[in-house]
Chains A and B, each alone.
Chain A
């Protein structure tokens, strides 16, 4: 006998208990600490901070632990926490030219003021599983580095001096636009686009950036510079009348230099694509810079033909918290809508069968019917 489905509440509670115990796993194995995550899974923490749009390594590490290593889930947790935090104001613009550089490379100049500093990079490692890491291997202490103290001016500034690259927009005192405080409207200015990209999904941006290299909106890019390191964040306190330092954040900045042959309105010159993300994430910063440049097509009088150049397409689909929510909501019950569709398909099948029955037997076979209804996304 059918019993109306009751006990949804108990089922949910039980599922959550199972989740908690599954997260912990075998209790004979010591529990992972958030310190361990923050200290040894730094790049995962960086990604959660970047896409979670919240610079807090402890919260990010805890989110990763709670999410059982699912980074998009952890990003979601960080975002939901961030949205409840009180907002006191906006920091002063950070000075990446004064960054305490841990890594800094340029693909456009062999040597340059401040030098090329490789820093902690996977580049040039052989991707061989290191079975020694399975045990408690203690690495050699890092070599002492005298460089990195020398000031490292931005590469694009060197080009700027020659007038070979477009001028950066002048700094404005207007409060920055913020897409977490106002809904995004199209066309969106570059400030909002950059904010959207900085929060955007690394994989999505990587795919878009890759597509521009494969001819879907060519951009002829060079890595002017990638730099990673800490910068100071300052806040101008009205009450005090001066700026106070809030702390330091680690950033990855990428300045992409793109060849541009000129258009009716613009002279031939190098143009810029910009990427800036929390933590160490070159892949994300580079992808962001390529997509930023692609999204500027219209500004330079280029035709918008490729997905990466189409701001409505890019900006509307870059957020992985939105995307995962909506894709995964298909798990929710849809039986009311499905019932409506069942009824329709049954009626139309009956009509179809009746029409068939009316036809003479020797009627020529019909062409394949089109699908019953243009499929719309289930909602």
Chain B
């Protein structure tokens, strides 16, 4: 990996200095060695705001090289403003090839989604994490939550799930749904919808999680168990949609609701834009596109 500044910027390759990258890589290795454990790291100040992906950006900056191909998504889309901004940052500082294709990417940095196209061995999925501590809203103190993790004392999380069922007849947690990693550490999957939780389980890709403001890195190594918490008689269920994507007709994918007018008109389309475009390029047509084409 180059240690000299690239032609386009006075900064080091991928912005961070090499010492910092080594420090972050050590944290990543430790995280991989202890799946689901939140490794504290000396998070740097980044040129984008805290809460906007500084953790993910530091992880990506530490592992990226000139031969990588980077994809950045936010809400499943390559085209949302923050994804564009982060992608441009790496184009500028790391002179790296970028793509919107899930299968062509070697590193995918994401906020709030896991791509619909299954990941493969050798790919790295980097999550931007706002609140790495799954117990934080049950126990605000770091000193206490670290003790709870050390002792694997997770009863309180189940109390929360019990309360949901008692009050609402179901577990009322739809995203950032708590998971148990390798049977040991309770882990926040970041605010991805629980729809994506099963994709984390035994994934052949390496999954890295960076929380810049909270200064934590954690990891799910390839082929590791990631089990969503539940009760034997109230098993974990993913969000369900009662219709296919209006543009590409895909079933069993996560959909965004798009308001079409102010008279209650709405349609549901793939949240993963690359997935949707690929399917349409392959000739798949959903309800709305079908209508448009017949009319034309």
Contact = CB atoms under 8 A, between A and B. Distances in A.
- A and B from one complex: yes
Interface of A: 1-2, 4-9, 11-12, 76, 79-80, 82-84, 86, 180-187, 312, 316, 321-322, 324-329, 332-337, 339-344, 347-348, 351, 370, 372-374, 376-377, 379
Contacts of A343: 174, 239, 241
A329 B51 contact: yes
B11 A84 contact: yes
B143 interface: yes
B94 interface: no
Contacts of A329: 49-52, 130
B285 interface: no
Contact of B49 (A328, A339, A376): A328
Contact of B172 (A187, A334, A372): A372
A9 to B, nearest CB: 5
B130 A326 contact: yes
5 contacts: A5-B79, A83-B46, A333-B81, A336-B113, A372-B172
Contacts of A9: 79, 84, 88
Interface stretch (B37-45, B199-207, B228-236): B37-45
Given A83-B46, A329-B52, A340-B193, A4 B213 contact: no
Given A79-B45, A84-B15, A325-B50, 10 more contacts: A2-B288, A8-B80, A183-B42, A312-B143, A321-B45, A326-B213, A336-B193, A339-B254, A343-B174, A348-B172
Nearest to A376: B137
Contacts of B176: 337, 379
Interface residues of B, number: 73
B77 interface: yes
A6 B97 CA distance: 20
Q: Which of A184, A321, A337, A342 has the most CB of B within 10 A?
A: A337
For the complex of A and B, list the 5 residue pairs with the smallest distance between their C-beta atoms, beginning with the closest.
A325-B50, A329-B51, A325-B49, A340-B174, A326-B51
Contacts of B288: 1-2
Contact of B50 (A1, A321, A342): A321
B83 interface: yes
B191 A337 contact: yes
B50 A4 contact: no
Nearest to B51: A329
A83 B44 contact: yes
A83 B24 CA distance: 15
Contacts of A342: 257
B285 to A, nearest CB: 14
Interface in B242-295: 247, 254-258, 260, 267, 269, 271, 273, 276-277, 288, 292
Contact of A183 (B17, B43, B50, B137): B43
A4 B51 CA distance: 26
A180 B216 CA distance: 14
B126 to A, nearest CB: 17
B42 A333 contact: no
Contacts of B142: 186, 312, 316
Nearest to A341: B174
A12 B87 CA distance: 12
A179 to B, nearest CB: 8
B197 to A, nearest CB: 12
Interface string B76-113: 11011111110010000000000000000000000111
Contacts of B82: 332-333
A379 B50 contact: no
A336 B45 contact: no
Contacts of B172: 344, 348, 372-373
B160 to A, nearest CB: 9
A337 B49 contact: no
A89 to B, nearest CB: 14
B175 A340 contact: yes
A181 B20 CA distance: 9
A8 B49 contact: no
Contact of B269 (A4, A82, A183, A328): A4
Contacts of B137: 374, 376-377
B74 interface: yes
Given A2-B267, A325-B213, A379 B260 contact: no
Contacts of A327: 51
A337 B193 contact: yes
Contacts of A340: 174-175, 193-195, 239
B215 A183 contact: yes
Given A2-B260, A343-B174, A337 B112 contact: yes
Q: Which of B141, B191, B192 has the most CB of A within 10 A?
A: B191
Contacts of A4: 79, 247, 269, 273, 276-277
A185 to B, nearest CB: 7
A336 B169 contact: no
B75 interface: yes
Contacts of A374: 137
